[in-house]
Amino acid sequence: MTAAAATAPKPSLWRRAWDLSLLPAIAIGLALIFGAVLMILSSPLLGGFNLFLPITAYKALVEGSVGSLNSIVNTLVNATPLVLAGLAVGIGFKGGLFNIGGYGQFLLGALCATIAAIALNDASPWVAIPVAVIAGMLGGMFWGFIPGFLKAFTGAHEVVTTIMLNFVAVYLVSYVISGPLRGTGPEVTFARTDTFVAAELPIIIGRNGHLGLLFAAVAVPLAWWLLFRSTTGFEIRTAGASPDAARYAGMRPRWLIVLTMSICGMLAGLAGTVEWLGEVGYGQAFYGTTVGFDAIAVALLGRANPVGILFSALLFGAMQAGAGQMQAQAGIPPQMIAILQAVILFFLAAETVVRRVLRVRTAGTGVGTELQTVSRSYGEQATR
Amino acid sequence: MEFLYDIPVIGMVIQFVVYFIVQLPVLAPTIMAAAVPIILGALCGFMNERSGVVNIGIEGMMLTAAFVAWWTAAIAAQVLPDLSIGIMGITLPLLVGLALAILAAMAVSAIHAWLSISVRADQIISGTIINIFAVGITGYLNLLISQHSPPSAGQFQDLRLPSALLGIPVIGTLLNSLIAVGPIALSMLISVIVLQVLLFRSRWGLRTRSVGEHPKAAETVGIDVIKLRYRNVILGGIFAGLAGAYLTIEFGNAFQGEMTAGRGFIALAALIFGRWTPVGAFGAALLFYASIGLQRSIQFAPPEGALGDFLATLPPQFYSALPYIITIIVLTGVVGRSVAPAAVGRPYERESKAA
């Protein structure tokens, strides 16, 4: 930051919002154009060349995501795990850590919540729900603690360890749920647990808007407060911007790494918890979800800022919610959503090029400096 | 020999080793067949990471290539004559599929190279983009063509060796699992040896290692860091292309959405466990699948006595998770440390530009 920028008056809230959201908006727009071109090119496979297919498809996508109360609730339900897992990646970015372990932490959270929920299936919901939710958070926290601890004290890089732990989590869940926890009820026709009775999250809005929506809504301001208003958050951000500066300032970067990864794991674990307790309703031995990778997209689009993450999770949640209607009305496979996500990310990653070509002049990005810390650290395993 | 088995703990280890050696001839071809795409994927990662570029997009590159190989071979089978050269089931349509799969993976690699070298974007994000995009685009097209999908073009066959050769103990087993395989698996074997030699014995290898360890020093002695990184990353795509094609036109003959099922990440694990060398990755991949192959043989022919009882208590998922756990342990440096090339993940900025 130059001296002039430092002494300049603080820009207004609107100005800052504009600066933060202009490039993501451009990326979204370019991705929609890319998607439209792809749809037109592939329209012969859908029964004849059709220049207006993208309009039909995007209209169905919007209707399916915000067209009625049920679809709005559906959007919120889809956005909930993305908000929580997105925060799990975003807070990591702020601390100079790249958490690719969202999937594993999600699963561990879901698994621990399931264990508690099955054990307390006959208890009162007032007991079962809090215990299951806390168990899930602790499970995810543990799965985030491991890579944090390994990075801080052995130098094993979190990108690799979290990827490996994702797979360990997959097999652990598969073992526990198809083995000891396999249900005995008549509804159990594949490897799953009994249906949750006491710990199932109650519906608070619409057809399927469960209590987990509130958790996500509370997590955003809490994460914002943690990052920007608490001493711990200041230390996390300092360690993220410059680990050396943090060390010279008397902070303990190693413990900050462990703490940050544990918080990230806890949030991703909560995502898994609300998804299984609220949406699925039982434990599953094989649960494929892309939430871990989607969360990276959410965090980047939201510039690692909790409020930004909320908005980008809502956007991706809306796209997921509307995908079904888009397929029904325009015949576009739901995988289009993944394509759009990837293309949005592509234009964000190629930000410098987009800026140059479109002559965009806004303030710097939210994740630039932290990501430099992240990418600098890949090769540093050797020096620790 | 049996009396040794009664020694506590050590006896069990001895029995385990003997059991494994006895089972190996039966298991070897299956282990090898499963390890081929992992080793090829690891070679792709090797080309990237040795020159200082992280690649977690191997999974996506493999998936793209798998789809392209299967689809273009099927289309080629409809429009092109079904010329065959008579060995290993090599036909013109399959060769077309293979070539286009390699080109597709190289094109994806070129995007990765552009983002991580020229744009200097974060390389993990670039890899993530590739993974998400590959799942999306292959799933999208696969669903669109599923109604009028052409029949599969078939698959490559294993090389046939005279049975007299295969009958020789030990050598026969080796030949059966290493040489009596399809063309892509054979190319893997050759690539591993060639790359290992090139890395430590050629000018290219020395330059690649220097660019991966200390690009600034490399630049001062006149190596074009940017150009070499570009070249290595794009050439690395060849191996991801072979790995993907192996899945749909050699090992199997059909494509399914997300069929790579994490193989690109196991490849990454094999690369790390193998200390970023081709031969190391080869050994690591075999070891990983030996653990999974062992689980099957324990199911069908369990060892006797205390060892059998002990192994029977371990769930099958334990063997599947073992490769990942071992990789984490190796990274922590508890037993034998694995160290990444020092400049991996850092975009290079020329001195003249920075000044």
Put simply, the answer to whether A42 touches B317 (Cβ < 8 Å) is no
Tokens standing for residue A376: 């600098």
- Compute φ and ψ for B276, nearest 5 degrees: 60, 30
Residue entry with tokens 């508890």? B334
Average pLDDT over residues A325-349: 92
CATH of the domain at A261: 1.10.3470
- B262 falls in which pLDDT band (50, 70, 90)? confident
Contacts B343 to A, Cβ<8 Å: 379
- Give the mutation candidate from A168, A178, A373 for the B interface (greatest B CB count, under 10 A): A168
Report pLDDT for A48: 81
Whether residue A299 lies inside any domain: the answer is: yes
- Tell me how close the Cα of B115 comes to any Cα of chain A, in angstroms: 7
- Given a contact cutoff of 8 angstroms between Cβ atoms, the answer to whether A297 and A316 are in contact is yes
Put simply, the answer to whether B115 touches A349 (Cβ < 8 Å) is yes
- A266-311 per-position pLDDT tens digit: 999 999 999 999 999 999 999 888 888 899 989 988 888 999 999 9
**Residue-range definition of the domain harbouring residue A109:** 22-376
Whether residue A316 lies inside any domain: the answer is: yes
Residue B279 has pLDDT above 90, yes or no: yes
- Given a contact cutoff of 8 angstroms between Cβ atoms, the answer to whether B327 and B272 are in contact is yes
Share of chain B above pLDDT 70, in %: 97
If you measure CA to CA, which chain A residue comes closest to B60?
A: A342
Which of A130-144, A184-198, A358-372 ranks highest by mean pLDDT?
A130-144
Alpha helices, DSSP H, located in B258-301: 263-273, 278-300
- Tell me how close the Cα of B140 comes to any Cα of chain A, in angstroms: 5
Q: Give the Cα separation of B263 and B243 in Å (integer).
A: 10
- Identify the CA nearest to A292 among candidates A180, A156, A135, A163: A163
Contacts A339 to B, Cβ<8 Å: 133, 136-137, 140
Put simply, the answer to whether B126 touches A349 (Cβ < 8 Å) is yes
Contacts A174 to B, Cβ<8 Å: 317
- Given a contact cutoff of 8 angstroms between Cβ atoms, the answer to whether B131 and B59 are in contact is yes
- Identify the CA nearest to B68 among candidates B20, B146, B10, B138: B138
CB atoms within 10 A of CB B80: 15
Put simply, the answer to whether B132 touches A376 (Cβ < 8 Å) is no
Q: Give the Cα separation of B174 and B192 in Å (integer).
A: 16
Residue entry with tokens 């500066």? A245
Q: Give the Cα separation of A336 and A328 in Å (integer).
A: 13
If you measure CA to CA, which chain B residue comes closest to A166?
A: B324
Put simply, the answer to whether B268 touches A376 (Cβ < 8 Å) is no
Q: Give the Cα separation of B276 and B279 in Å (integer).
A: 9
- A371 falls in which pLDDT band (50, 70, 90)? low
If you measure CA to CA, which chain B residue comes closest to A299?
A: B125
- A232-273 per-position pLDDT tens digit: 999 999 888 888 888 888 888 889 999 999 999 999 999 999
CB atoms within 10 A of CB A308: 23
- Give the mutation candidate from A111, A293, A346 for the B interface (greatest B CB count, under 10 A): A346
Put simply, the answer to whether A341 touches B143 (Cβ < 8 Å) is no
Q: What is the ipTM score, two decimals?
A: 0.87
Contacts B120 to A, Cβ<8 Å: 352
- Compute φ and ψ for A210, nearest 5 degrees: -90, 175
- Identify the CA nearest to B238 among candidates B98, B79, B116: B98
Put simply, the answer to whether A346 touches B133 (Cβ < 8 Å) is yes
**Between A166, A171, A335, which is nearest B317 by CB?**
A171
What is the DSSP secondary-structure string of A24-72?
Answer: HHHHHHHHHHHHHHHHHHHGGGGTS--TTHHHHHHHHHHHHHHSSHHHH
SS3 content of chain A, % helix, strand, coil (to 5): 75, 0, 25
Write the CB contacts of A111 (distance below 8 Å, at least 6 apart in sequence).
Answer: A139, A169, A172, A173, A176, A177, A272, A283
Which has the higher per-residue pLDDT, A358 or B242? B242
Whether residue A15 lies inside any domain: the answer is: no
- Give the mutation candidate from B53, B63, B114, B125 for the A interface (greatest A CB count, under 10 A): B125
- At position B277, the amino acid (one-letter code) is T
- Tell me how close the Cα of B166 comes to any Cα of chain A, in angstroms: 37
If you measure CA to CA, which chain B residue comes closest to A367?
A: B122
Chain centroid to CA A221: 16
Residue A6 has pLDDT above 70, yes or no: no
The CA-based angle A286-A341-B118, given to 5 degrees, is 120
Q: Does B333 lie at the interface with A, CB-CB under 8 angstroms? A: yes
**Between A98, A335, A375, which is nearest B140 by CB?**
A335
- The answer to which of A91-95, A351-355, B201-205 has the lowest mean pLDDT is A351-355
Put simply, the answer to whether A339 touches B136 (Cβ < 8 Å) is yes
If you measure CA to CA, which chain B residue comes closest to A148?
A: B332
Whether residue A218 lies inside any domain: the answer is: yes
- Tell me how close the Cα of B110 comes to any Cα of chain A, in angstroms: 14
- Tell me how close the Cα of A324 comes to any Cα of chain B, in angstroms: 14
- B228-258 per-position pLDDT tens digit: 999 999 999 999 999 999 999 999 899 988 8
Q: Which long-range contacts (CB under 8 A, 24 or more apart) does B90-94 make?
A: B90/B156, B90/B183, B91/B153, B91/B154, B93/B153, B94/B153, B94/B154, B94/B155, B94/B156, B94/B249
- A197-238 per-position pLDDT tens digit: 988 999 988 888 899 999 999 999 999 999 999 999 999 998
CATH of the domain at B151: 1.10.3470
- Identify the CA nearest to A271 among candidates A95, A177, A159, A133: A133
**Between B119, B124, B341, which is nearest A379 by CB?**
B341
Q: Does B332 lie at the interface with A, CB-CB under 8 angstroms? A: yes
- Given a contact cutoff of 8 angstroms between Cβ atoms, the answer to whether A254 and A45 are in contact is no
Q: Does B268 lie at the interface with A, CB-CB under 8 angstroms? A: yes
Rg (C-alpha) for chain B, rounded Å, is 22
- Tell me how close the Cα of A205 comes to any Cα of chain B, in angstroms: 32
- A83-117 per-position pLDDT tens digit: 999 999 999 999 989 899 999 999 999 999 999 99
Which of A118-127, B40-49, B111-120 ranks highest by mean pLDDT?
B40-49
What's the domain count of chain A? 1
Report pLDDT for B38: 95
Contacts A42 to B, Cβ<8 Å: 140-141, 144
If you measure CA to CA, which chain A residue comes closest to B115?
A: A350
Q: Which of residues 171-230 of B touch A (CB under 8 A)?
A: none
Residue A355 has pLDDT above 60, yes or no: yes
Whether residue A9 lies inside any domain: the answer is: no
The CA-based angle B211-B212-B215, given to 5 degrees, is 40
* Per-residue CA distances from A337 to A109, A303, B173, B281 (Å): 26, 20, 48, 35
Whether residue A12 lies inside any domain: the answer is: no
Q: Which residues of B62-76 are buried (b: 16+ CB within 10 A; e: fewer)?
A: bbbbbbbbbbbbbbb
Q: Does B74 lie at the interface with A, CB-CB under 8 angstroms? A: no
Chain centroid to CA A142: 18
A to B CB pairs, distance under 8 Å: 170
Whether residue A34 lies inside any domain: the answer is: yes
Which has the higher per-residue pLDDT, B263 or B15? B263
Put simply, the answer to whether A156 touches B333 (Cβ < 8 Å) is yes
**Residue-range definition of the domain harbouring residue B261:** 2-354
**Between A157, A168, A375, which is nearest B324 by CB?**
A168
In sequence order, the β-bridge partners of residue B84 are B91
Q: Does B133 lie at the interface with A, CB-CB under 8 angstroms? A: yes
DSSP state of A288: -
Contacts A352 to B, Cβ<8 Å: 119-120
- A15-61 per-position pLDDT tens digit: 877 877 888 899 999 999 999 999 999 888 887 888 889 999 999 99
Whether residue A7 lies inside any domain: the answer is: no
Report pLDDT for A51: 87
Contacts B318 to A, Cβ<8 Å: 171, 175
Contacts B336 to A, Cβ<8 Å: none
Tokens standing for residue B17: 């080793």
